[in-house]
Amino acid sequence: MSQPHVVHTIPDIRAAVLRARAEAGAKGVGSPRVAFVPTMGALHDGHIALVRRAREIADVVVVSIFVNPLQFGDPNDLEKYPRTLDADVAALDGAGADLVFAPSGEDMYPSGPPATRVTGGDVSMRFEGKTRRGHFDGVLTVVSKLFYIVQPDVAVFGQKDAQQVFLVKQMVRDLDMPLTIEVLDTVREKDGLAMSSRNRRLDARERTAALALFRALDAAASAADRGIDASLAAAQAALMGENGVELDYLAIIDPATFRPVDDGHRGAATVIIAAQVGATRLIDNETVYFG
């Protein structure tokens, strides 16, 4: 494995994927599978884990790197988002990607912001969607567009973005898109912090404070044998007194509906959390089992 081939236009990536499928077929693969990993770049080890998983389950691996303006409500946040294409391609060296699709905004939206959008319904307006209005419509619109461009058999996402994963799965199901979604567990730093492109914005003090999110999830899991309310209380207690961490939401949701569970819930549930740490917004989640 080596560095992937980088293409920038929609016709070029379509032609490259068709060519790669044909080459895999010529090597004796009966029905070559294409796996797709959509990203906004600023790649870290969590992204690389997605690419390695894609390599395990498919014959051709495509990674997209595109900072999608539709999912940013704040123009300053869009402007600050890191754009590191050369470093990203270097990071993919040996990870298993065959192709990188790195379009410009003009390639993806030649007439400006599209009039046609994909919306995620009620769930898209909860939690992250409540704080970041229109965010998930932007995500679903660009993901659907990328799916139609690349035509993958499977797309690989990370569990860290749990609400996004739920909505992408819902979109694929509702629109009968001919692919499957594979979800990889959250990749964490050694101290438990979920890997995120936003972590690079944290200074040393904020980086330490950010660990409160992981402690809250761990506390929720530890108290699960006492029920939902006790689990939430334990998580809230773990956040108490952590200077520099401003909680946005903390909830325990049913992974099948992405709606909060009641105290009588039994079985798997997902603890979700979002907080502002300094000037950086962080999210995390953990699957917890209630007996």
- Give catalytic residues, as residue numbers: 47
Q: Write the DSSP assignment of the chain as a string of letters.
A: --PPEEE-SHHHHHHHHHHHHHHHHHTT-SS--EEEEEE-S---HHHHHHHHHHHHH-SEEEEEE---GGG-SSHHHHHHS---HHHHHHHTTTTT--EEE---HHHH-TTSS-S-----GGGGGSTHHHHSTTHHHHHHHHHHHHHHHH--SEEEEETTSHHHHHHHHHHHHHTT-S-EEEEEPPPB-TTSPBP-GGGGG--HHHHHHTHHHHHHHHHHHHTGGG-HHHHHHHHHHHHTT-TTEEEEEEEEEETTTTEE--TT--EEEEEEEEEEETTEEEEEEEEEEE-
In angstroms, rounded to a whole number, what is the distance separating the alpha carbons of residues 96 and 236?
Answer: 41
